[in-house]
Amino acid sequence: MASEADEGYEHLIDSVRFKLKGKIAVDQVLPQLHFLDQECKDRIKQKLTTDGDIAAADLLISAVIARPHTQGWFRAFIDALAHGGSELAADYLTEPPRPEEEAENDTCVELIRLLAPSLSDMKTTVVCGSCFSAELLTVDDKERILAVTNNEGNKRGAEELLKRIIRRRPPWFSQFLQVLRDAEEDKVYRELTGSGINEETPAPKQEPAQTEPAGEESPEAKETNGIQEIQEEVADLYLDPDLPQSEERSQPDGSASAAAGEASSPEEAEISLWDYQMEVAKPALEGKNIIVCLPTGSGKTRVAVYITKQHLECRKAEGKPGKVVILVNKVPLVEQHHSKEFTPYLKHLYKVERVSGDSQLKISFAKTVQRNDIIICTAQILENYLEIANSGVDEGVKLSDLSLMIIDECHHTQKGEAYNHIMMRYLKQKHKNIKLKKEQKETVPLPQILGLTASPGVGRATKLEKAKEHILRICANLDASQIMTRSLGDFKREPRKAIQTVEHRKQDPFGDVIKRIMHKIHLHAQLNPTGDLGTQVYEQWSVQKERQAAKEADQKVRVCAEYLRQYNNGLMLCNLLRMQDALSLLKNYHEEQNKKKSAPDEEQNIQITDTERFLFNLFKENEKKLADLAKNPEYENDSLSKLRTKILQEFSSRQQATGIIFTKTRHSAIALNQWIQENTKFDDIGIKPAYLIGGGDQSDVKPMTAAEQKDVLKKFSTGEVNLLVATTVAEEGLDIPACNFVIRYGHVTNEIAMIQSQGRGRAEDSTYTVVDVKNSGVAERECVNEHREDMMHKAIEKIKALSQQDYDKQITEYQLQAIMENRVRQNRQNKKVMKNESPSAMKFSCRHCNKQVCTGEEINIIGDMHRVNGTVEFKELFIQRENSTLQERLVDYETNGIIACKQCGQTWGSMMMFRGIELPCLHVKNFVVNINGKNISNCTKWGDIPVKFPAFDYNEYASRVVEFDSDDEETK
pLDDT at 225: 39
Of residues 22 and 128, the one with the higher pLDDT is 128
198: DSSP letter: T
Report the alpha-carbon angle 939-945-947, nearest 5.
Answer: 160
Whether the bond into 97 is cis, omega within 30 of 0: no
Of residues 244 and 586, the one with the higher pLDDT is 586
The stretch 775-799 carries a mean pLDDT of 80
Which range of 450-464, 485-499, 632-646 scores highest in mean pLDDT? It is: 450-464
* Amino acid residing at 214: A
Domain 275-491 fold: Rossmann fold (3.40.50)
**Coil vs helix vs strand at 35:** coil
Indicate the length of the chain as a whole number: 972
The stretch 234-255 carries a mean pLDDT of 33
Q: How far apart are CA 376 and CA 327, in angstroms?
A: 6
What's the whole-number average pLDDT of the chain?
81
Rounded-to-10 torsion of CA 875, 877, 881, 885: -80
Closest CA to 453 of 788, 792, 208: 792
For the cut 50, the answer to whether the pLDDT of residue 766 exceeds it is yes
The stretch 226-237 carries a mean pLDDT of 34
Rounded-to-10 torsion of CA 66, 67, 72, 78: 10
Residues linked to residue 256 through DSSP beta bridges, in sequence order: 250
pLDDT at 285: 95
Query: Cα-flanking dihedrals φ and ψ of residue 15, to 5°?
Result: -70, -25
pLDDT at 328: 92
For the cut 90, the answer to whether the pLDDT of residue 268 exceeds it is no
Closest CA to 244 of 766, 762, 765: 762
The stretch 200-205 carries a mean pLDDT of 37
Q: How far apart are CA 711 and CA 703, in angstroms?
A: 14
| pLDDT tens per residue across span 382-416 | 998 999 888 876 788 999 999 999 999 898 888 77
DSSP one-letter string for 537-599: HHHHHHHHHHHHHHHTT-HHHHHHHHHHHHHHHHHHHHHHS-HHHHHHHHHHHHHHHHHHT--
The stretch 832-836 carries a mean pLDDT of 57
Please tell me the least confidently modeled range out of 331-335, 346-350, 374-378: 331-335
194: DSSP letter: S
* Residue 190, burial from CB neighbour count under 10 angstroms (0-12, 13-18, 19+): middle
Domain with CATH 2.170.150.30 in the chain: 839-968
Q: How far apart are CA 87 and CA 404, in angstroms?
A: 52
DSSP one-letter string for 192-212: HHSS-TTSPPPPPSSPPPTTS
- Model confidence at 497, pLDDT cuts 50, 70, 90, reads low
For the cut 50, the answer to whether the pLDDT of residue 886 exceeds it is no
Q: How far apart are CA 640 and CA 386, in angstroms?
A: 49
- Model confidence at 102, pLDDT cuts 50, 70, 90, reads confident
* CATH 1.10.533.10 is the classification of domain 99-193: yes
Q: How far apart are CA 795 and CA 805, in angstroms?
A: 18
The stretch 68-96 carries a mean pLDDT of 87
- Model confidence at 327, pLDDT cuts 50, 70, 90, reads very high
pTM of the model: 0.61
For the cut 90, the answer to whether the pLDDT of residue 516 exceeds it is yes
For the cut 50, the answer to whether the pLDDT of residue 272 exceeds it is yes
For the cut 60, the answer to whether the pLDDT of residue 259 exceeds it is no
Report the alpha-carbon angle 836-840-843, nearest 5.
Answer: 100
Domain with CATH 1.20.1320.30 in the chain: 509-635
Between helices 579-596 and 555-576, what is the axis angle to 10°?
Answer: 150
Q: How far apart are CA 789 and CA 807, in angstroms?
A: 22
Closest CA to 55 of 32, 33, 24: 24
* CATH 1.20.1600.10 is the classification of domain 839-968: no
The stretch 673-677 carries a mean pLDDT of 91
Domain with CATH 1.10.533.10 in the chain: 4-94, 99-193
250: DSSP letter: B
pLDDT at 216: 37
67: DSSP letter: S
For the cut 90, the answer to whether the pLDDT of residue 303 exceeds it is yes
- Model confidence at 735, pLDDT cuts 50, 70, 90, reads low
For the cut 90, the answer to whether the pLDDT of residue 446 exceeds it is yes
Alpha carbon 249 to chain centroid, angstroms: 23
Rounded-to-10 torsion of CA 791, 796, 797, 801: 140
pLDDT at 583: 92
Assign domain 4-94 to a CATH class: mainly alpha
For the cut 60, the answer to whether the pLDDT of residue 709 exceeds it is yes
CATH number of the structural domain 496-501+637-796: 3.40.50.300
**Residue 96, by phi and psi: left (phi above 0), alpha (psi -120 to 50) or beta?**
beta
- Model confidence at 968, pLDDT cuts 50, 70, 90, reads low
The stretch 629-635 carries a mean pLDDT of 86
**Cβ neighbours of 528 (radius 10 Å):** 6
The stretch 358-381 carries a mean pLDDT of 84
Residues linked to residue 899 through DSSP beta bridges, in sequence order: 880, 909
Domain with CATH 3.40.50.300 in the chain: 275-491, 496-501+637-796
pLDDT at 479: 96
pLDDT at 805: 94
Distant-in-sequence, close-in-space partners of 378: CB < 8 Å, separation ≥ 6: 327, 328, 329, 330, 331, 334, 355, 356, 357, 418
Check: CB of residue 535 under 8 Å from CB of residue 648: no
Please tell me the least confidently modeled range out of 388-392, 736-740, 937-941: 736-740
- Model confidence at 255, pLDDT cuts 50, 70, 90, reads very low
Distant-in-sequence, close-in-space partners of 556: CB < 8 Å, separation ≥ 6: 525, 549, 609, 611
| pLDDT tens per residue across span 158-199 | 988 998 898 888 888 889 998 988 888 888 888 888 776 665
How do beta strands 927-931 and 934-936 pair?
A: antiparallel
Please tell me the least confidently modeled range out of 238-247, 417-426, 697-706: 238-247
The stretch 809-816 carries a mean pLDDT of 94
Which range of 224-238, 702-716, 742-756 scores highest in mean pLDDT? It is: 702-716
For the cut 80, the answer to whether the pLDDT of residue 628 exceeds it is yes
The stretch 931-955 carries a mean pLDDT of 84
The stretch 18-45 carries a mean pLDDT of 88
For the cut 50, the answer to whether the pLDDT of residue 887 exceeds it is no
Q: How far apart are CA 772 and CA 501, in angstroms?
A: 5
Of residues 613 and 757, the one with the higher pLDDT is 613
Closest CA to 869 of 806, 911, 826, 905: 911
**Coil vs helix vs strand at 209:** coil
pLDDT at 247: 36
Q: How far apart are CA 377 and CA 366, in angstroms?
A: 12
Q: What sign has the CA pseudo-torsion 10, 12, 15, 20?
A: negative
Between helices 275-285 and 300-317, what is the axis angle to 10°?
Answer: 40
Percent of the chain with pLDDT over 90: 29
Of residues 775 and 223, the one with the higher pLDDT is 775
pLDDT at 970: 52
Of residues 365 and 784, the one with the higher pLDDT is 365
For the cut 90, the answer to whether the pLDDT of residue 92 exceeds it is no
Of residues 23 and 967, the one with the higher pLDDT is 23
CATH number of the structural domain 509-635: 1.20.1320.30
pLDDT at 196: 67
Alpha carbon 150 to chain centroid, angstroms: 43
Check: CB of residue 204 under 8 Å from CB of residue 228: yes
| pLDDT tens per residue across span 898-938 | 898 988 888 899 888 888 888 899 999 899 998 888 888 77
736: DSSP letter: P
Check: CB of residue 335 under 8 Å from CB of residue 736: no
Distant-in-sequence, close-in-space partners of 340: CB < 8 Å, separation ≥ 6: 247, 260, 261, 735
- Model confidence at 361, pLDDT cuts 50, 70, 90, reads low
Distant-in-sequence, close-in-space partners of 707: CB < 8 Å, separation ≥ 6: none
